[in-house]
Chain A
């Protein structure tokens, strides 16, 4: 008898050429798209060479993005980007992006229509799970796995069990994807979904734009998950319409599919959420955080660097001044241009922000806003590990763009209702 399956199991089964797969099965699958960045690609290229292959499996299915230490922050970074650029040119990889053409990898792949529902994406970056928002199976690996994928077009996967998260109710005015996912990680813990798929669903999703949905799937890995995923709906298909010529394969979980655990979260009752140092699961409602004076606010990254995020922040900053250092890095050139057209960049600059190039920047403590000993920052990024944004004696609080803007204005962690 055919076993009911989750969306994750269905996509893996379809790729494995199997009628069905079950959690724990180890399968070998073809990969639709393989991704690496300026940190992970140089190692993956070395591994690719070690395999002895002359050609990559398909130059049009490999995406290489220079986004972490760009514009090149030092000579060593410049050498790494050069390695990637030359490799792309030599092997005919068209999808090579550096600043001015691209932006942060997980912002630009969906934007450029490189991911469609039902696909299987492997990326040498842990936040590859972002694309689950489009109904694709996508997961992060390291450079050796990716180097082998570049050579063979295939990888092995252990089929994950699935945890279902149902969001109900209509989220409040200032509640976005970041608040939902932080709250969820607070319940699950940083290891709560290790080796599992996190499937997000429920009636609240229809109130969430693609930008908010990317934010949710982006942080699935912060609960340890292998992938985050959502079923594609009208909002997904409308997003893809002008971006991708590929035809989507829309998979849905069977009603009787087996879940390891089901969480029900009422989005209507949520306050804006904040994760306290030094772990993304130390989550509190903003009103419960207490007084925390800030030195810096950062708005950007693959989590909250999209147009919708900048719009929310700008709506709170209009006619106001930041009383902290405020750094804004739009997630991509497209986001940057749209933000210019809408007057959002002007709002940021007038509020006293420094608006920099699309780059990971300070998210991983690379450059463009590193913290000194004892400094506290509020950031719209996804990780606040010890030393993540600079000195090990600094502290990072995570929140969405509304809390970030309100906090920048008041110089302390604050909710949008306070200004």
Chain B
């Protein structure tokens, strides 16, 4: 699958409290959560981000709490893909489970507002603005299986896996 969108740049160790502050966790409706995505870190993010945009970040993206509300909020805000140098492990599982793809690309260097194109199957990320390509780590087979099925629940239902 090829995804194309505009980059929103974030730094290292973006934690789940920054993605969706705990005061908004008294609901679990994805759309409502999306309205508050990055509210403290990037006030107004939700109004600026466009459907299909891509987050690019540094190390350890999604560290901290296990709240699945974090990837849900990102996805509901319109983000289609997160590219980071590395991800915290619970966030990694949660994102694939709900159908938000992630690519781990330690070598990538992208700037705010650039046009990016990513091939989920091969892991190739093209910076259309700069005409440069980077290779992300290929997705493990199990993550591909979850994505292809449309999330963990769909996989469990279809294949009776686990």
Residues of A within 8 A of B (CB): 26, 28, 39-40, 42-43, 46-47, 50-52, 68-69, 73-74, 76-77, 80, 123-126, 128, 140-145, 147-148, 151-152, 154-156, 190-191, 194-195, 224, 226, 279, 364-366, 383, 385-388, 392
Q: Which residue of A lies closest to B98 (CB)?
A: A144
B153 within 8 A of A: yes
Q: Which residue of A lies closest to B24 (CB)?
A: A76
Q: Which residue of A lies closest to B85 (CB)?
A: A191
User: Interface extent on B, as a size class?
Assistant: 35 or more
Contacting A at CB under 8 A, from B18-39, are 18, 21-23, 25-28
Q: Which of A74, A123, A145 has the most CB of B within 10 A?
A: A145
Would you give the shortest CB distance from B24 to chain A, in whole angstroms?
9
Q: Which of B17, B69, B98, B156 contacts A388 (CB 8 A)?
A: B17
Q: Complex Cα distance A40/B71, Å?
A: 13
12 contacts between A and B (CB under 8 A): A28-B161, A39-B25, A43-B68, A74-B26, A76-B26, A80-B26, A141-B90, A152-B162, A194-B89, A365-B22, A385-B17, A387-B21
Chain B positions within 8 Å of A142 at CB level: 66-68, 71, 90, 93-94, 97
CB <8 Å contact, A144 and B97: yes
Q: Complex Cα distance A144/B93, Å?
A: 9
Q: Complex Cα distance A399/B86, Å?
A: 28
Q: Which of B27, B59, B69, B156 contacts A51 (CB 8 A)?
A: B156
Q: Which residue of A lies closest to B15 (CB)?
A: A385
B147 within 8 A of A: no
Q: Complex Cα distance A144/B75, Å?
A: 15
Would you give the shortest CB distance from A191 to chain B, in whole angstroms?
4
CB <8 Å contact, B97 and A383: no
Q: Which residue of A lies closest to B92 (CB)?
A: A195
Chain B positions within 8 Å of A80 at CB level: 26-28
Q: Complex Cα distance A144/B153, Å?
A: 8
Known: A40-B67, A51-B156, A142-B90. A365 touches B21 (CB 8 A): yes
Task: Using A40-B68, A141-B66 as known contacts, list a sample of 10 further A-B pairs with CB atoms less than 8 Å apart, ordered by residue number in A.
Answer: A42-B28, A43-B69, A77-B26, A144-B153, A151-B156, A154-B162, A190-B13, A194-B89, A385-B18, A388-B22
Q: Which of A28, A80, A141, A152 has the most CB of B within 10 A?
A: A141
CB <8 Å contact, B86 and A194: yes
What DSSP secondary structure best describes chain B's contact surface?
A: loop
Chain A positions within 8 Å of B140 at CB level: 26
Q: Which of B22, B65, B142 contacts A156 (CB 8 A)?
A: B142
Known: A141-B90, A142-B66, A195-B89. A148 touches B17 (CB 8 A): no
CB <8 Å contact, B17 and A386: yes
Chain B positions within 8 Å of A143 at CB level: 68, 94
Known: A39-B25, A69-B26. A191 touches B13 (CB 8 A): yes
B64 within 8 A of A: yes
Chain A positions within 8 Å of B152 at CB level: 144-145, 148
B83 within 8 A of A: no
Chain B positions within 8 Å of A195 at CB level: 89
Chain B positions within 8 Å of A68 at CB level: 22, 25
Q: Complex Cα distance A26/B60, Å?
A: 22
B 142-162 binary contact with A (CB < 8 Å = 1; else 0) = 100000000111001100011
Q: Complex Cα distance A59/B83, Å?
A: 39
B63 within 8 A of A: yes
CB <8 Å contact, A366 and B98: no
CB <8 Å contact, B66 and A140: yes
Q: Complex Cα distance A226/B66, Å?
A: 11
Cβ-closest 9 pairs across A and B: A142-B94, A142-B68, A76-B26, A144-B97, A191-B60, A392-B40, A364-B22, A126-B66, A154-B162
CB <8 Å contact, B88 and A194: yes
CB <8 Å contact, B22 and A194: no
B41 within 8 A of A: yes
Chain A positions within 8 Å of B64 at CB level: 126, 383, 385
B 52-93 binary contact with A (CB < 8 Å = 1; else 0) = 000000011001111111010000000000000010111001
Chain A positions within 8 Å of B22 at CB level: 68, 364-366, 388
